Amino acid sequence: MDKIVIHGGRPLNGCVSASGAKNAALPLMFATLLAPGPHRLGNVPRLRDIRTAEQLLTGLGASVQNEKGILEVFAEDLNGKEAPYDLVRTMRASVLVLGPLLARCGRARVSLPGGCAIGARPINLHLKGLEAMGAEITLDHGYVEARAERLHGARIYLDTPTVGGTENLMMAATLAEGTTVIENAACEPEIDDLAAALRTMGAKIEGDGTATITIEGVKQLHGMDYQVMPDRIEAGTYLIAAALTGGSVLVQNARADHMEALLSKLEETGAACQVTEEGVRVTGPAQLRPVDIKTQPYPGFPTDMQAQFMTLMTLCGGSSMITETVFENRFMHVCELQRMGADITIEGHTATIKGVSELLGAPVMATDLRASACLVLAGLAADNTTEISRIYHLDRGYESLEEKFRCLGADITRVPAEQ
Ligand code: EPZ
């Protein structure tokens, strides 16, 4: 397996560009199943999850061409095949084919994803919402089978504002008969991006970005031509790197309006955040101050930035606290940070991080995507060598990570596995 080797301890300075957002691109790719197309998606990041999504679409009968971040999808003849376990287990977002397939073809068969490193992550709210729209749902040997001649509009209250659930139901409702209202819907910017793309396909959606989304179903949709929004989590990771190493980094294309919770917390640590026409710049302070954060659905502090922010807290002068409220098991990175000299204790959903004077390079292992990013950040701040294994997680969500950090002056290399 490949490794990443970092010789840390250098301030990072310069400019990188935010790639297209993985978590916006994936639902947009699955939305192409709603209409024959042709569909054209621009600013699609080069990531392993995108390749998995391409495989899934192809397996379902679509044809996909990807040239330099421009994806063309033709989804004329969907062959009614299933979303198989082998793909769904490597990428949970695959369950987002359920709503579009059911709405367009009247039938869908999708493997249940099972648990994952950060929590149980059920899809009960996706299924409950589809049932409210008239779908007949059965579970068969680890697969969800959903059928409905034509879905109908419904009033759906989500017990928790699930991002994927909101996306699945919003896509399904675009072709349903009548009006669907999703209450307690997720408000993440990726939901807005999906709604905007669906509108370009002819869908009638209002209220995205608020807790109540209203979708008036139409008989059919047409192809889309859409640019994926910039990745707010990737951008945030580079901005934290600047604060952590006492450097100054401009992330071009970063949207400050998507990152208000993060930028406000960075300012509390003493970092200077500057919003320019080009993007967002963060400059690290001489000494970081401790802060407390609580992860919450958008516009709260994103759970996807929790691990990276924890690395920053390990070097704050005092005691900081993180309360994780979105996922039940998202502290897997703590043990690895402790191996690098961090002083962290966990009680239930709360981690207390006492700042230390330095992090020590060490061999560490990545457990999930954002945990991997937090270890890269720790390696960049530590003043000797850090070796990170199981970096395939990083390739799921960070485009050209080593190149981008090298542009900022980091000494980071990928060492291919010995054959
Ligand atoms: C999306 O996952 C993101 N993935 C995740 O990003 C992100 O961490 C998460 O939203 C929260 O922001 C994509 O967009 C592809 P949820 P999703 O449904 O949609 C519970 C990353 O690192 N829940 O909003 O799967 C669930 O267990 C990833 O890029 C139910 O109980 O998240 C969790 O506790 C990881 N029943 C909470 O809701 C359901 O039916 C939020 O999950 C659905 C969810």
**pLDDT tens digits for range 227-272:** 999 999 999 999 999 999 999 999 999 999 999 999 999 999 999 9
Tell me, what's the pLDDT at 115? 63
pTM of the model: 0.97
Secondary structure in 3-state letters for 195-253:
HHHHHHCCCEEECECECEEEEECCCCCCCCEEECCECHHHHHHHHHHHHHHCCEEEEEC
Mean pLDDT for the stretch of residues 14-22: 98
Tell me, what's the pLDDT at 373? 97
Say whether pLDDT at 120 is over 90: no
Mean pLDDT for the stretch of residues 122-143: 95
Say whether pLDDT at 380 is over 70: yes
| pLDDT more than 90, % of the chain | 90
Catalytic residues: 116
Mean pLDDT of the chain: 96
| pLDDT more than 70, % of the chain | 99
Tell me, what's the pLDDT at 121? 82
pLDDT tier at 328, thresholds 50, 70, 90:
confident
pLDDT tier at 219, thresholds 50, 70, 90:
very high
Say whether pLDDT at 383 is over 80: yes
pLDDT tier at 114, thresholds 50, 70, 90:
low
Tens of pLDDT, residue by residue over 159-183, are: 999 999 999 999 999 999 999 999 9
Query: Rounded to the nearest whole angstrom, what is the distance from the C-alpha of residue 141 to the centroid of ligand 1?
Result: 24
Mean pLDDT for the stretch of residues 276-300: 97
Whose CA is closest to atom 1 on ligand 1?
163
User: Using CA atoms, how far apart are residues 373 and 386, in angstroms rounded to an integer?
Assistant: 13
φ/ψ of 213, rounded to 5, equals -110, 130
Tell me, what's the pLDDT at 356? 98
Q: What share of the chain is helix, strand, coil (3-state, %, to 5)?
A: 35, 25, 40
Would the CB of 125 count as within 6 Å of ligand 1? yes
Q: Which two tokens stand for residue 8?
A: 């840390």
Q: Which residue has the higher pLDDT, 288 or 114?
A: 288
Would the CB of 123 count as within 6 Å of ligand 1? yes
Tell me, what's the pLDDT at 419? 60
Mean pLDDT for the stretch of residues 69-73: 96
Would the CB of 214 count as within 6 Å of ligand 1? no
Tell me how many degrees the CA angle 202-206-208 measures, rounded to the nearest 5.
110
Tens of pLDDT, residue by residue over 184-203, are: 999 999 999 999 999 999 99
Testing ligand 1's pocket by substitution, the residue of 163, 308, 349 carrying the most ligand atoms inside 8 A of its CB is 163
Measure Cα distances from 299 to 83, 259, 260, 294 in Å. 32, 8, 8, 12
